[in-house]
Amino acid sequence: MTDGTPADGTPADGTPADGTPADAALANVMPDVTHRLVQVPGGRIHLVEQGTGPLVLLVHGFPESWYSWRHQLPALAAAGFRAVAIDVRGYGRSSKPSDVTGYRMLAHVADNVAVVRALGEQTAVIVGHDWGAPIAANSALLRPDVFPAVALLSVPYTPRGRRRPTDIYADMGGAEEFYISYFQAPGRAEAEIEPDVRGWLAGIYTTLSGGTVPLAEISGIFFIPAGGRLCDRFPADAARASWLTDADLDFYAAEFERTGLTGPLNRYRNVDRDWADLAAWQGTPITQPSLFIGGEFDGPTIWSARAIKNFPATLPGLVSSHILDGCGHWVQQERPDEVNRLLTGWLRSLHAR
């Protein structure tokens, strides 16, 4: 199926999937890419592809979409790769299960395997950013036969530990509340975000961009006072991030205004379920060739310094690790040229072996 229509004829998001004004607008965002809907065991995944050659699967994070890879798709295609960026389940035109358990890590891994098969391939290098990084890492961990190499952006690999994640987050928060704890209760974060999706997105994209918040204050952004909201931590006087154009913000806002935020937030609501599901892989390293790219001004990079130091044990196949000076969380959008150079160089080295 290559025309954007599901094999069973069902719509991706409750609207016709072929020939509508919405589809025409989507096609005009990046006219050189191909949009597809492919069937997976849990429903369908919307993907965008460009180029021919070895398959590279790009997995986005929160709150993003396939569009967060808009700078990488043409660069990877020009370098001789078949670049495919998915909408993770819960996002865009991919399926949105109503049951929170439909967003467990095992389901995301199954989606990625099914996408590779639906594209007629046996293997793919997988690249993930933000939540996409743990999804990519666990895809490589659980299915090394399908994913022979993995690149992680912003969030380093941390093997499953001994403590329940929500207990760890509760300890981290102390008198305040760590943002993942804040996201746990269904409807709570949605009530903060959905009244002004565009404004909230502009706030989080800007706040977590490099240079917006002093380095010493970055970690505090992720902790919420009792009775407060995450957006209360957004700097009120910060100019919008320079990498985020009006068109970019319009695209993201339109996607989330159409789909809502519950599906994306349900990923956070499975952290304990993932911990139980992955008990057999406690402490297990990822041995395939790997790459890490983080930002100097990125919270996950800062508080995961120990995880990065443990890469010799947790990522013994690591080819290289890079922290981009002055960069924030949205590395592939903030610094596309640098990220493209690192990704294409790493990919070429894999195929030169």
Intervals of the chain under pLDDT 70: 1-27, 353
- Nearest CA among 232, 228, 123 for reference residue 182: 228
Active-site choice (46, 108, 129, 329): 329
Fold of 21-351: Rossmann fold (3.40.50)
What letter does residue 49 receive in the DSSP assignment?
E
- Please give the mean pLDDT across all residues of the chain: 91
Give start and end residues of each alpha helix (H) in the chain: 21-29, 72-78, 105-118, 132-142, 165-173, 179-182, 188-193, 197-207, 246-259, 262-266, 271-277, 299-303, 305-309, 311-314, 331-334, 336-351
**8 A C-beta contact, residue 186 and residue 269:** yes
329 catalytic per annotation:
yes
- Nearest CA among 348, 351, 327 for reference residue 153: 327
User: Which pLDDT value is given to residue 122?
Assistant: 97
Number of Cβ atoms within 10 Å of the Cβ of 114: 17
Pair of tokens at residue 251: 């695209």
Active-site choice (130, 274, 277, 298): 130
User: Which pLDDT value is given to residue 25?
Assistant: 54
Pair of tokens at residue 181: 């704890």
User: Which pLDDT value is given to residue 26?
Assistant: 61
Bridge partners (DSSP) of residue 321 are 292
Gap between the Cα atoms of 95 and 85, Å rounded: 15
Predicted structure pTM score = 0.93
For 128-162, give the DSSP string.
Answer: EETTHHHHHHHHHHH-TTT-S-EEEESS------S
Domain boundaries, given as residue ranges, for the chain:
21-351
- Nearest CA among 97, 66, 98, 99 for reference residue 84: 66
User: Which pLDDT value is given to residue 341?
Assistant: 98
Q: Which residues are CB-contacts of 278 (< 8 A; sequence separation ≥ 6)?
A: 105, 138, 160
CA dihedral sign of residues 120, 123, 126, 131: positive
